[in-house]
């Protein structure tokens, strides 16, 4: 019975080499003859409940705390290179380290930021003065998370759509990330409206997210579930609502089928907006109304937090939309997990110059505080720089 009570993450940490399916197979063999087939779902839930369930719920609730959100700084080396190139810097490990060090060591950041999503390099990296980046985050009261997907590739048999890789070896990778100090994870897959979306692409995206979420929970990491509906396209807001509703319905169906504990996940949706090329723009109030209606019809209240991505909106637009969503109480914590909408002014202020680090950290605090106020519905656009109102949409953007 001891083996049944052990999660696969625990098994890995103790050096027991069992594939997930073999492990569940073992668990099933403990059942009474004839009862096994009908108890499959109970068995896998019991296995997880004996492992990390309480900790997962506690972690998710710590990330989803009032007035705080997530700083996404998990750009792959290639994407980080594009960010550095925008301020004339080479994509070297030293430059990535200097930039990430600036972000994580911003004094007082933990007042507004509860979690930071890292790329693998940063999870294992030190600052220039020899301190682990994750310890600097911990000193700031920020929980480290880790991007675990392996990026997007073409989905053969679809209408030029893509799917997200990374399930192979995910159990052992997540066990190692937990050991290193990560407590939550992120998997970003995308859905393109102009390219369909086909049923194949939606099913693949939802199934991949559900398998990822299940594996993360077995290994102690709270999964952030992120099916990004890309801004590309000339469609209006009603079309986005229709697609988002279809996608989230499928995602929750497969999350349930995979016995994912809803209390121990976080969501990272796109806001429901018109396509980037649609001439008819939507006010923050309209975006809030559409987005919240869609989520209330699809997301159970047991989910602790909804942490939006910014997706190419300007810094101010992303903050205004979040603020509009927090004008009345919601069933879940409604907050942010922005990359571009937190980092854009920071990069432009820093310019790679050591003498600009302090000013860049102040710029980060300005954005983090603005979004913190938006999380409690008390943000005002007054005094925002023109720069922060510039959209950042780029077609085909990847992480
Ligand atoms: P953006 O806020 O730039 O869309 O980032 C989304 C993301 O997935 C980063 O982790």
From 70, 54, 143, 53, select the one nearest 334 (Cα to Cα): 70
CATH topology of domain 53-389: TIM Barrel (3.20.20)
Give residue 128 CA to ligand 1 midpoint distance, Å: 26
The helix-helix angle for 199-218 and 170-180 (nearest 10°) equals 50
User: Separation of 4 CA from ligand 1 center, angstroms?
Assistant: 38
Candidate of 271, 310, 346 to mutate for ligand 1, largest count of ligand atoms within 8 Å of Cβ: 310
Write out the two tokens for 65.
């705390």
Nearest ligand 1 atom to the CA of 337 is 2
- Catalytic positions, written as ranges: 226, 268
The per-residue pLDDT for range 14-28, each reduced to its tens digit, is 333 333 333 333 333
Confidence at residue 42, expressed as pLDDT on a 0 to 100 scale = 53
* Structure tokens given for 303: 């989910």
Phi first, then psi: give them for residue 55, nearest 5 degrees: -65, -40
Which residues form ligand 1's pocket by a CB distance below 6 Å?
Answer: 72, 74, 117, 186, 188, 226, 309-311, 338-341, 399
Pocket residue to mutate for ligand 1, from 86, 147, 308, 309, most atoms within 8 A of Cβ: 309
The reported pTM is 0.88
Bridge partners of residue 227, in order along the sequence: 189
List the chain domain ranges: 4-48, 53-389
DSSP letter at 236? -
Q: From the CA of 117, give the closest atom in ligand 1.
A: 10
Q: Which atom of ligand 1 is nearest to the CA of 310?
A: 2
pLDDT digits (tens, 9 = 90+) for 317-373: 999 999 999 999 999 999 999 999 999 999 999 999 999 999 999 999 999 999 999
pLDDT at 43: 53
Residue 29 pLDDT > 90: no
pLDDT of residue 271: 98
Q: Which residue, by CA, sits nearest to atom 10 of ligand 1?
A: 72
Task: Using the atom order of ligand 1, give the atom closest to the CA of residue 147.
Answer: 10
Atom of ligand 1 nearest to the CA of 338: 2
39 Cα to the center of ligand 1, angstroms = 39
Whose alpha carbon is nearest atom 5 of ligand 1?
A: 339
64-117: per-residue pLDDT in tens? 999 999 999 999 999 999 999 999 999 999 999 999 999 999 999 999 999 999
Separation of 265 CA from ligand 1 center, angstroms? 18
**Closest CA to ligand 1's atom 6:** 309
| 227 CA distance to ligand 1 middle (Å) | 11
Q: Over 70: is that where the pLDDT of 395 sits?
A: yes
User: What are the angstrom distances between the C-alpha of 37 and each of 2, 45, 359?
Assistant: 21, 14, 61
Of 2-16, 106-120, 257-271, least confident by mean pLDDT is 2-16
DSSP 396: T
DSSP one-letter code for 218: H
C-alpha of residue 33 to centroid of ligand 1, in Å: 49
The overall average pLDDT reported for the chain is: 90
- Give the whole-angstrom CA distance, residue 335 versus residue 66: 9
pLDDT at 37: 47
User: What is the 3-state secondary structure of 87-140?
Assistant: CCCCCCHHHHHHHHHHHHCCCCHHHCEEEEEECHHHHCCECCCCCEHHHHHHHC
């Amino acid at each position: 019975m001891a083996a049944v009570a052990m999660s696969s993450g625990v098994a890995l940490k103790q050096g027991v080499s069992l594939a997930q399916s073999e492990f569940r197979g073992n668990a099933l063999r403990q059942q009474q003859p004839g009862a096994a087939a009908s108890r499959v779902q109970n068995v896998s839930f019991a296995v997880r409940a004996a492992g990390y369930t309480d900790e997962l719920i506690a972690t998710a609730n710590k990330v989803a705390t009032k007035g705080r959100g997530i700083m996404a700084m998990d750009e792959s080396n290639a994407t980080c290179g594009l960010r550095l190139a925008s301020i004339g810097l080479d994509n070297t490990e030293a430059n990535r380290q200097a930039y990430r060090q600036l972000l994580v060591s911003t004094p007082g950041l933990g007042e507004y930021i509860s979690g930071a999503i890292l790329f693998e390099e940063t999870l294992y990296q030190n600052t220039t003065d020899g301190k682990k980046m994750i310890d600097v985050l911990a000193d700031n009261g920020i929980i480290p998370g880790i991007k675990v997907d392996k990026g997007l590739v073409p989905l053969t048999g679809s209408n030029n759509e893509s799917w997200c890789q990374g399930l192979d070896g995910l159990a052992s990778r997540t066990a190692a990330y937990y050991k290193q100090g990560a407590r939550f994870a992120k998997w970003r897959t995308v859905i393109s409206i102009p390219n369909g979306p086909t049923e194949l692409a939606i099913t693949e995206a939802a199934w991949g997210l559900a398998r990822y979420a299940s594996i993360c929970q077995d290994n102690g990491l709270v999964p952030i579930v992120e099916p990004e509906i890309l801004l590309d396209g000339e469609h209006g807001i009603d079309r986005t609502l229709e697609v988002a509703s279809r996608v989230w319905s499928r995602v929750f169906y497969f999350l349930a089928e995979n016995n994912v504990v809803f209390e121990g996940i976080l969501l990272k949706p796109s806001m429901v907006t018109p396509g980037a090329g649609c001439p008819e723009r939507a006010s923050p109030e309209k975006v809030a109304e559409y987005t919240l209606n869609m989520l209330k019809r699809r997301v159970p209240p047991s989910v602790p937090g909804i942490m939006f991505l910014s997706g190419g909106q300007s810094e101010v637009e992303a903050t205004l939309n979040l603020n509009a969503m927090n004008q009345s109480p919601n069933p879940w914590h409604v907050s942010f997990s922005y990359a571009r909408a937190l980092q854009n002014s920071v990069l432009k202020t820093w310019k790679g110059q050591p003498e600009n680090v302090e000013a860049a950290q102040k710029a980060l605090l300005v954005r983090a505080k603005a979004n913190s106020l938006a999380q409690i519905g008390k943000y005002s656009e007054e005094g925002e720089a023109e720069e922060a109102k510039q959209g950042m949409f780029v077609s085909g953007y990847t992480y």
